[in-house]
Amino acid sequence: MTATVAVAHASARRTRGRWTRFVLRRARRLLISLWILVTASFLMIQLVPGDPVRAALGTSAPAELVAARREQLGLDEPLLDQYLTYLRDLFTGDLGESILTQLSVAETIGQRLLATLSLALPAFVVTFAFAVPAGVALAVATRQGRRRRTELTFVGTSIVLASIPEFVVCVALVAVFAVNLGLVPAAGRDGLDSYVLPVLALAVGPAAVLARIVRVEMLAVLDADYVRTARAKRLSALRINLRHALPNAVTATLTLSGLMLATMVAGTVLVENVFAWPGLGGTIVSSIQSRDYPLVQGAVLVYGAIALTVNTLVDVAIAAIDPRSMIGDS
């Protein structure tokens, strides 16, 4: 019996050690990814064909102004020096100045990022608040081929909804609620009611997809042996479904939620464009069009860093909830 105990101790230690190693591995990958991101955003301005400053300021700009801006951006120095300067500035929070407006890129992005998050986070919450209960309820109601019609209606509706891209949702919402009914403003960020359409537009597609995934996961879990065990213990339906089944079903959902938050931040690019929202997405697009490269650099960097960090955090969170998820990851 003592031998068994020792084995059990060792296995518990192994699990803990595995988790630490997993976190370290993920942290290393995150750092490498961030380094690639930083380097790529540094190289971006170098890779632009022709003179980026000339491209930004236009052919009619005086030569002295172009030269001054090139000087300011340090574009005439050796590449390695520029890279080191870029890294040093980055660590002090200095992302440079806009070629066009001379405003600090870090400050501009800071303001815009807040506006973007004020859309993405509520949309994220709305998505989950709808999708998880809906998916669970539908799984419980339609398991083992019960209520076939409800199931078909739901699957059909969610496929249709998920097929509609955000910008089409935006346009449709604007056409109906702003143009036709005049209930809420069509664009701008002004007061609570201006949030309604953009948040809805961001949440509809992901909510439909997520509800479907929660349902499928939940159906699989409800057929699991341990749920039968729970039923054999005569627990309440609520406890069987929520305490025994749901946590096993959300692992996949959580993986997805990371991607979903990332796509939501991505979705804001389009949604902000439709609603003239003063966010990061709108800034990226307009700065690409106006070739304001320092601003593009900064925006891509911040946006990429957020997405990478979110993905890593989600992976680590899943590993903590469900130790089995680390298996097969090397």
Partner 1 sequence: MRRRRPEVLRTPLGIVGITLLVILALLAVLAPLVWGDRATATHTDNMLAGPSPEHWAGTDNLGRDILFRTLVATRLSIVLTLAATIFGVGLGLLLGMAPLLLPRRLGRLVVAFVNVLLGFPSLLMVLFLAVILGVSTTSALLAIGIAIAPPFARLVYALGAGVAERDFVAAARIAGVHPLRIMVRHVLPNIAEPLVVNATVTASSVLLAFGGLSFLGIGVQAPQFDWGRLMQDGLAIIYDNPLAALAPGVAFVLTGLALNLTGEAAAGTFGAKSRIRTTRSLTERRSVSPRSNTRDADTDLVLDVRDLEIAFPGPYGPVSPVRGVSIALRAGEAVGIVGESGSGKSMTALAVAQLVEEPGRVTAERLTFCATDLRSGRRTAHDALLGTSLAVVFQDPMTSLNPVMRLGSQLGEAARRHQGLTRRQASARAADRLRAVHLSDPERRLRQYPHEFSGGMRQRAMIAMGLMGTPRLIVADEPTTALDMTVQRQVLDLLQEIRRKHGTALLLISHDVSVVSSICERVLVMYAGRIVEDLPAADLYTQARHPYTRALIGAVPEMTTDLDAPLATIAGQPVDPRHVPDGCAFAARCPRVTDRCRQEEPTLQAGPAGTVACWHVGDPLPAETKEVAVG
Determine the interface stretch with partner 1 among 76-84, 103-111, 128-136, 138-146 (rule: CB under 8 A). Answer: 138-146
How far is Cα 42 from Cα 62, in angstroms, rounded to an integer?
A: 26
- Amino acid, res. 17: G
Give min distance, CB of 87 to partner 1, in A: 19
∠ CA 138-142-147, nearest 5°, is 115
Whichever of 179 and 183 has its CB closer to partner 1, that residue is: 179
- Amino acid, res. 60: S
Quickly count: other Cβ atoms within 10 Å of residue 133's Cβ: 12
Transcribe 2-35 into DSSP letters.
HHHHHHHHHHHHHHHHHHHHHHHHHHHHHHHHHH
- What binding mask, one character per residue, do residues 158-197 give for partner 1 by CB under 8 A, x or -? -xx-xxxxxxx--xx-xx---xx-----x-----------
Give min distance, CB of 267 to partner 1, in A: 9
Whichever of 92 and 263 has its CB closer to partner 1, that residue is: 263
- What binding mask, one character per residue, do residues 29-58 give for partner 1 by CB under 8 A, x or -? xx-xx--xx--xx--x--xxx---------
Read off the tokens for 150.
Answer: 């409800």
Give min distance, CB of 64 to partner 1, in A: 26
Query: Considering only residues 225-264, where is the footprint of partner 1 by CB under 8 A?
Result: 225-226, 228-236, 239, 243-244, 247-248, 262-263
∠ CA 78-79-85, nearest 5°, is 95
Query: Does residue 217 interact with partner 1 by CB under 8 A?
Result: no
